[in-house]
Amino acid sequence: MDYRIEKDTLGEMKVPADKYWGAQTQRSKQNFPIGGEKMPIEVIRAFAILKKSAAKANSDLGLLDKKKAEAIAYAADQIVDGKLDEHFPLVVWQTGSGTQSNMNVNEVIAYVGTEWLKEQGSEVTLHPNDDVNKSQSSNDTYPTAMHIAFVLKLEDHVLPAVKTLKNTMNEKMEAFQEVVKIGRTHLQDATPLTLGQEISGWHRMLEKSETMISESLDYVRDLAIGGTAVGTGLNAHPDFSEAVTKAIIEETGKTFKSAPNKFHALTSHDDAVHVHGALKGLAADLMKIANDVRWLASGPRSGIGEITIPANEPGSSIMPGKVNPTQPEAVTMATTQVMGNDAAIGFAASQGNFELNVFKPVIAYNFLQSCQLLEDAMLSFDERCVKGIEPNLEQIEKYLRDSLMLVTALNPHIGYENAAKIAKKAFEDDTTLKEAAIELELLSEEEFEKYVNPKEMTYPK
């Protein structure tokens, strides 16, 4: 392999000739052979947005040559467009401040920007620290990049996926509004409702999760940039934070604000814990919905079987013809991982000492993985399962007709204890409620049919 020699304050390093990173990235690559999980590309691209915005702010404040700012912007745009992904090799399991990934971005931008300047006929070069990292520290850039990445991922990916699944649920809710079925509580028969009403509960879960995530996002709109090393803003212009924040808003089209207390912004990630809590709420709802779907579709002959779902692939390597609820299963596994991620984020946010939390990369990694899993799971569940849900009317009618809990409609007319006698006798004699009521001489056939109307029980007056 061909190498070139790069230098940093510790000396010389051999760097692969076809890679754009520098000595500090190479050192990290060699010093942290841990795991293999790469720093999320969303963080890298958020860093690029930040570096471009910081260069603009420094230039506008008279602290950075305009041509250098243009070169930084050019290189940053290449990163955002996904053209330089191969030049970000570092793993999550590095320094807890994310310093090496900050320097990885600084070095790649310096290299690419310098090459661009050469093409422009300029002899100016970019320095990764003095120019690209000007007025910044890893301690304020990494949490800023985290928050940019979180907002972009949630607003552009997770929330649209929630909306997609929610809209499908709404369609099913309306289509099945008149399909009367038996309800279940405690895994036991309960009073009737419509399939549309049952699905409306799922729809409302998604609707409410959507609102909770949207509202919680306000907490990660605060940006730490401008705090530099410990929150004091040393080596940064007093107007730098507001100027960078304004540039980031213009670049992303998203709402952000300069964190009012930079000491908090560097040392605490309670905001990420709070927002991920809303994601955990969504995960809990999706787990519940997926389990309901697979229970209601269980069978085909020995389960509940009140709905059918698409048969996407063979379900068994030994049992011919078996088809399993694989999409709901995938959702439940993904949501389990999200709940585990929530625990990891909570532990990580509680750590660090004094002026800096040093668990930032693991917070970013788990948060963004949760976002990706939820987005992918919802879209796949929607397309390959929920859109294909249909009622099994014959089975629904059978369970409804045989249910003992229809007796609840008799409470206002003959009292709870008499109604219980009817249910008990029907169960013990394996007869219908009507037959039991007549035999006990508590109701006539006409009275029973007047009082026990499953459809009317779903829309009580």
List residues with catalytic annotation. 186, 316
- Look up tokens 């929920």; give the residue: 386
Q: Tell me how far apart the alpha carbons of residues 427 and 392 are, in angstroms, rounded to a whole number.
A: 25
Q: How far apart are CA 77 and CA 94, in angstroms?
A: 26
Contact 58, 69 (CB under 8 A): yes
Phi, psi of 184 (to 5 degrees): -140, 135
Q: Strand (E) positions, 291-389? A: 307-308
Cα separation values, 242 from 77, 144, 175, 179, 236, Å? 22, 13, 51, 57, 11
Sequence-distant (6+) residues with CB within 8 A of 302 are none
Tokens of 295: 């229970």
Environment class of 234 (CB within 10 Å of its CB; exposed 0-12, middle 13-18, buried 19+): exposed
Question: For residue 432, what are the CA distances in angstroms to 293, 306, 354, 395, 448?
Answer: 29, 21, 71, 17, 11
Angle at 142 between CA 351 and CA 127, to 5 degrees: 140
How many helical (H) and strand (E) elements, i.e. helices and strands, does the chain have? Answer: 18, 8
Chain length of the chain: 461
- With b meaning 16 or more CB within 10 Å and e meaning fewer, what string describes 283-294? bebbbebbbbbb
Closest by CA to 130, choosing from 86, 67, 68, 87, is 68
